[in-house]
Amino acid sequence: MGEKASIFQTVQIGIETTPGTPVAAGKKLLATSIVPAVKTEGEAFRALGNKYPSFAVVNKEWSEASIEGKLTYNEILYLLSSLLSQPTPVQQGSTSAYQWTFTSNTSAEDAGNTFTVEQGDANSAWRAAGVKVSGLEFTFNRNEVTLSGSAIGQSLEPNITLTGTVSSMLPRPVLPAHLKLFMADSQADLDSAQVTPRGFSLSWSLTDKNTLAWPIGQSPVLIESEPKLEAKLSLATDSIGLGLITTMRNGATKWFRVLAEGAIIASTYKYTLQIDFPGQITEVGEFSDEDGLYLVEYTLAMVHDATWGKAFQIDVIADVQTL
């Protein structure tokens, strides 16, 4: 048996048909790392009169996975289909481009995919079933476009053999040069809004969306919890940036769109990622310097819009018809 060199600890995933029932993990993501780990909740017992514990017990065991990588137009479909729900993609014209539209039901469960996640090498490997993405954060600026997040699932199963037949997508990365930021006073006005000239960064996050419930005598049950839906926006302290202070004082809603457009897939259809959301300002950060310009950061609570019927929408166009 060879050494367990860290560089060869590959990670593979498979979309489960029945949540929690393992499947072959035949997909390897090349722009995203999903790294499972054993998590436990236990305690040591010390009887009265003893200095040291008599024993320790593990009350709960599950798996958690950290997620990090670069945002791509195609691999992000796997993560969003788990965090939210897998939509039916719409073919664009008669081309190989397909549009995937992701939303979240404000008052009902989102039927997101669960994964079987395998990790290891030819020496030894392990897997976790029923793994569901519980949170994602996207960071957009001119230095980088990245993603991070977390997932939870069933207890880790050691001593498995990695799935042998594995395929990967050619990553289509979202580049900083692809980005545009828009702001408007209504959802309808986003389509005609001008590019925000001095927007320097935007982070979008949906976290703490899924958790585990623990019935007696059964495996833990994946359920939805109260999520945290938030964005942070850094703008120059010009009339546009400072104008949001008035928006905050009025308790008004502002609409935001981050748009990334890459290469042409076919005809006029490009690799596209678009996130639309209404937000209300909950916090104003301190003024700060970036590249010699004076900026202000706003924290935004994304809110459900009754007319629109949702709190956000993510549209992805890629040359992917099925996962």
- Who contacts 247 (Cβ-Cβ below 8 Å, separation ≥6)? 254, 281
219: confidence class by pLDDT, cuts 50, 70, 90:
confident
295-311 average pLDDT score? 95
Give the start-to-end residue ranges of the domains of the chain. 11-40+60-318
136-157 average pLDDT score? 96
3: confidence class by pLDDT, cuts 50, 70, 90:
confident
161-181 average pLDDT score? 95
What are the angstrom distances between the C-alpha of 232 and each of 62, 76, 143, 194, 248?
32, 21, 16, 20, 14
The CA distance from 31 to 71, in Å, is 7
Q: Has residue 1 got a pLDDT over 80? A: no
In this predicted structure, what is the pLDDT of residue 177?
Answer: 96
In this predicted structure, what is the pLDDT of residue 253?
Answer: 96
The CA distance from 201 to 298, in Å, is 11
| pLDDT tens string 93-113 | 999 999 999 999 999 999 999
| pLDDT tens string 39-94 | 999 999 999 999 999 999 999 999 999 999 999 999 999 999 999 999 999 999 99
**Cα dihedral across residues 105, 269, 32, 259: positive or negative:** negative
In this predicted structure, what is the pLDDT of residue 291?
Answer: 81
The overall average pLDDT reported for the chain is 94
59's tokens: 């009350």
- Who contacts 243 (Cβ-Cβ below 8 Å, separation ≥6)? none
The residue written with tokens 């519980």 in the block is 134
Q: Has residue 204 got a pLDDT over 80? A: yes
128-153 average pLDDT score? 96
| pLDDT tens string 249-298 | 999 999 999 999 999 999 999 999 999 999 999 999 988 888 888 999 99
The secondary structure element, H or E, covering residue 144 is: none
The answer to whether the CB of 204 falls within 8 A of the CB of 275 is: yes
| pLDDT tens string 13-44 | 999 999 999 999 999 999 999 999 999 999 99
The pTM (predicted TM-score) of the whole model is 0.94
The half-sphere exposure of 222 on its side-chain side, counting CA atoms within 13 A, is: 29
Can you tell me whether residue 149 is helix, strand or coil?
A: strand
287's tokens: 């003024």
